[in-house]
Amino acid sequence: IDPAEHRRGAFIVLEGLDRSGKSTQAKLMEQRFVELNKPVKGMRFPDRTTPIGQMIDGYLKSKVEMEDHAIHLLFSANRWEAVAKIKALVAQGTTVIADRFFHSGVVYSAAKGNPALNYKWARAPEIGLPRPDMVVFLDLNPEETARRGGWGAEKYENGEMQMRVRQLFRDLGKKDIGDWSGEKEVIVLDAGGGIEEVAEAIWELVRPRVEAVERGERGSLKT
Ligand code: FDM
Ligand code: MG
């Protein structure tokens, strides 16, 4: 096999609290790929442009009410509807950088504290989605993110919820993905520094993983 012929792209996800700098960092990471002449595509979840995404948008803006399980499944469906695109991009050698993916889905729903919607239930509809090659959680104290111009008026943008979300992400930082590799579900990165400093720290984590994908060491995208 000629590895160059079979080279897939990587699938990298940035996670973080609202106002943690995720979107900024996703763009900066994208630029690095562009500068290196590596094909790259940025995506974000929820993708509010689809019909399902518009329902989610209405929920987040408190225009419509939705039962906790129902909105959870819509967030998940919003990922499932993007799977064919993600797979096609990665297969053609394009690296996909996603601003949130299924870890947000599981964590935000579990953080609501609804006893009928625990972590295990929340994880189930995400089974079979492409598993990112790396998930970096930009870790910041919610007091700090609140200072950054504060949160808007969207659902979940309150201190208590953000605290619980942060704790669940930090727990995932200690959890193995459950195969032989010993990889963690999430890599927790201190995002308290300046924009350039954080960008550099992210790149130090991501670059070797991308290079491993390029060398064919990580096989095909796992589920
Ligand atoms: N969110 C995001 C969820 O609750 N579940 C999900 O599956 C995803 C992808 O939606 F509070 C939450 C996280 C956040 C809100 O996200 C909107 P953005 O990144 O701020 O648009
Ligand atoms: Mg937000």
Spatial separation of the C-alpha atoms in residues 171 and 188, rounded to whole Å: 10
Cβ(100) – ligand 1 distance below 6 Å:
yes
CATH topology of domain 3-214: Rossmann fold (3.40.50)
Ligand nearest to the CA of 153: 2
Query: What tens digit of pLDDT does each residue of 89-140 get?
Result: 999 999 999 999 999 999 999 999 999 999 999 999 999 999 999 999 999 9
pLDDT at 4 over 60: no
Cβ(11) – ligand 1 distance below 6 Å:
no
Residues in a beta bridge with 136: 14, 187
CA 78 to chain centre: 13
With tokens 């509807």, the residue in question is 81
Spatial separation of the C-alpha atoms in residues 69 and 73, rounded to whole Å: 6
Is 33 buried (19+), middle (13-18) or exposed (0-12) by CB count in 10 A?
buried
Query: What tens digit of pLDDT does each residue of 198-221 get?
Result: 999 999 999 999 999 999 999 999
Query: What tens digit of pLDDT does each residue of 62-96 get?
Result: 999 999 999 999 999 999 999 999 999 999 999 99
Q: How confident is the model at residue 37 (pLDDT cuts 50, 70, 90)?
A: very high
Cβ(169) – ligand 1 distance below 6 Å:
no
By most ligand atoms within 8 Å of CB, the mutation choice from 19, 44, 60, 107 for ligand 1 is: 60
pTM for the full predicted model:
0.96
Q: How far is the CA of 101 from the centre of ligand 2 (A)?
A: 13
Domain boundaries, the chain: 3-214
